[in-house]
Amino acid sequence: MNHKIKTILFKTLASLPNKIDDYCYHKIQSFFDKSTLENRLKSVESTYFRLSKVLQDLRIDLNNKTIFELGSGWFPAMPYFFKYKLQAGKVITIDINEHFKKATVLELNDCFSKIYHSEIVSDPQNKYSLPKGIEYLPKYNVVEKDFPDVDFVFSRYVLSHMNENDVDDLHRRMKSQLKKGTHIIHFISPSDLRQHSDSNLSLQDFLQYSKEEWNKIHTKYDYHNRLRLSQFLEIFKKYDYEVLYLDYESLQPGTKKYDMFKEVKLHEDYSKYSDEELTAGNILVVLKL
């Protein structure tokens, strides 16, 4: 879908009364997303593999640990990997929205069991048919509520969808509330998400706009801050996090995506950053308190 048409659609949805807008958004998502649950689960599998290798290299053991996931998404893929593949004791997954559906979770239980040879038993007392050991807290604003006692905090492509001030406040509050030694892992995708549905756009197209201009373009359905890698690192340094691991990809000269990036007329707010800082993507960072 052309990004301009998509923007108009999202702005129309955002103008609808509460609950009606979310209902219509879910219907539209279901209409356009024709991928099977197995395919969607497999797309998360790459995160699990990448995470597993880093945990092994850093000698971080999640056995019987309590995991706190920021941003549950549409179904509990990563919590299942944490519990059934990495042997976590408990996974608490939270989200600002409520996307989980009982029917989807039941299908996921069967799908995950078959693919990964795990015996998943639904808790009959659970509203969403989740298994014991996985707790879902929807409509949960992490920058307003206190953190539970956990060993490990995880986010997968969430930070870029938070307000810039909230990203800062989140790390300030984690620093003050979580116990010393807690590990925090973030997967971050700081690219222009409009490009995912419109390949004519550069991954960095949104860097041409001022803050005011960008705020007029995106909505709550496609909200995306434009923090660059160095800005995330500044936040981590500000609150004295230890960076145990950092990995990312940058666009390389001579590639089509790099050429598209160079055609973007950058706003002056981004003139001080190098090409590597501006195009750094697929970021994985491991922090420790």
pLDDT in tens, 232-282: 999 999 999 999 999 999 999 999 999 999 999 999 999 999 999 999 999
**Which CATH class name applies to 36-288?**
alpha beta
Question: What is the band of 284 on the pLDDT scale with cuts at 50, 70, 90?
Answer: very high
DSSP codes of every residue in the chain:
--HHHHHHHHHHHHTSPTTHHHHHHHHHHHHH----HHHHHHHHHHHHHHHHHHHHHHT---TT-EEEEE--TTS-HHHHHHHHTS--SEEEEE-SS----HHHHHHHHHHHHHHHT----B-TT-TT-PBTTEEEE-S--TTTS---S-SEEEEES-GGGS-HHHHHHHHHHHHHHSPTT-EEEEEE--S-GGGGT-TTS-TTGGGGS-HHHHHHH--TTS------HHHHHHHHHHTT-EEEEEEEE---TTSHHHHHHHTS---GGGTTS-HHHHH-EEEEEEEE-
Task: List the single range of 24-33, 71-80, 162-171, 250-259 with lowest mean pLDDT.
Answer: 24-33
Predicted confidence at residue 82, as pLDDT, reads 98
Domain borders along the chain are 1-34, 36-288
pLDDT more than 70, % of the chain = 87
Predicted confidence at residue 195, as pLDDT, reads 83
Please report, as a single letter, which amino acid is at residue 256.
K
Higher per-residue pLDDT: 224 or 220: 224
C-alpha neighbours within 13 Å on the C-beta side of residue 180:
1
Predicted confidence at residue 250, as pLDDT, reads 95
Predicted confidence at residue 197, as pLDDT, reads 72
